Amino acid sequence: MAAARDSQGAPYLLPPNREDWEEQGIPDFTYGQKDLTGKGVRWPRNSPSALDTMPVSRFDSALCAAWRQRMELGLFRYRLEDLQTQILPGSVGFVAQLNIERGVQRRRPQNIKSVRQEFDPEKFNFNKIRPGEVLFRLQREPNGPAAPQQGDILVLINVSPLEWGHVLLVPEPAHGLPQRLLPGVLRAGLEAVLLSLHPGFRVGFNSLGGLASVNHLHLHGYYLAHPLPVEGAPSTPLDPKGFIHLLQGLPAPGFLFYTSGPGPDLEVLISRVCRATDYLSDHEIAHNLFVTRGAPPGQSSSSSDLIGIRVILWARKSSFGIKESGAFNVALCELAGHLPIKTSHDFSCLTEAAAVALIQDCLLPQTQADEVQAALVALMAQEEL
């Protein structure tokens, strides 16, 4: 990424030390509709390394400069170096990365027994983090256009990062919201993707039982300098209006929702997705969600055709507690095709077939998957009534 500068070209100023964070308070990152970019973001044609010469947005500059500073100050559990990366041979295009430190040093997941478990203030939550872990407060401009008002979103470092710029988006932590998707935080996640000019900035959500390790409402956001199979995979519509599609040709078929960018369609998408996740939560079905720039639904498209925003939702078997076996754990990024690998042995030996088997072992039995699909299609049909 280029050096961090604001919209006038001046360096993006950050508190120089820990004491100043407490004295100065949390900086605000205020944005408006004009900052949201729907089209024109593309992968470079030659190589991912060319991303370093591409334009960056004000959001990218602010996030990356603050994140880099926290890394230099030692606020992470480990120092993230360039991760060894390979594209697994095969038809899927899995992006595998060796991240030993995360596998060893990440916080142990909380004891979760239900997708609908209540928030417990005695357990670890984001009200207990160090002040320096907060990068900034994400705020919409007051009196902006039509989008509903939403509370402030704190952008925090993930102290056990998957990749460069790995952050958490946490809506008003003091409210003690459990890990259940709400429209306001989903809107913030979608708009964060639209605020970035990096084609590999993605956002996602793990439900309880879907490998969320903290029961306090949050999204993940991070940069990955590689296209992923979900960006251009083909899909088939599940309803006559095309409100919901089924992603095809991947190990984990997911429900695909799509919008061309900011505007009224974005609000419609938020409503549809949250109705779907509410259904899954109400029926104790774990789920993962992934937000990325991508091609419109339909036939297979080039991953360079990042025309709009794809939101992919997977219903899956519940998985409670930490999983030590297997080359990787299956959550939002693994279902999307990004595989953080825990050991050098697994990184050197993993095959596409083994990765597919691990992922498919986490999916719902076909009979239950069919029932969920029918229920979600019926939910979308209610929109027409």
Q: Which two tokens stand for residue 94?
A: 């899995």
Chain length of the chain: 385
Phi then psi dihedrals of residue 254, to 5 deg? -120, 165
Residue 176 burial (C-beta neighbours within 10 Å; 0-12, 13-18, 19+)? middle
Positions marked catalytic: 218
Residue 54 burial (C-beta neighbours within 10 Å; 0-12, 13-18, 19+)? middle
Question: What amino acid occupies position 373?
Answer: Q
Q: Which two tokens stand for residue 83?
A: 């991760």
Which DSSP helix (H) or strand (E) runs through 379?
helix 366-381
* 190 touches 270 (CB < 8 A): yes
Dihedral sign, CA of 212, 215, 219, 220? negative
Sheet of 201-206: strand order equals 28-31, 134-140, 153-157, 167-171, 219-223, 201-206, 286-294, 308-316, 255-259, 245-247, 235-237
- Report the distance separating Cα 296 and Cα 258, nearest Å: 7
Q: Which two tokens stand for residue 63?
A: 């996030």
Which residues, 6 or more positions from 283, have their beta carbon under 8 angstroms from its beta carbon? Answer: none
Which residues, 6 or more positions from 260, have their beta carbon under 8 angstroms from its beta carbon? Answer: 38, 39, 296, 307, 308, 309
Question: What amino acid occupies position 265?
Answer: D
Which residues, 6 or more positions from 155, have their beta carbon under 8 angstroms from its beta carbon? Answer: 29, 63, 134, 135, 136, 137, 138, 167, 168, 169, 170, 221
Q: Strands 255-259 and 245-247, how do they pair?
A: antiparallel
If you compute the radius of gyration of the chain from its CA atoms, what whole number of angstroms results? 20
Residue 348, SS3?
helix
| Bridge partners, 319 (sequence order) | 210
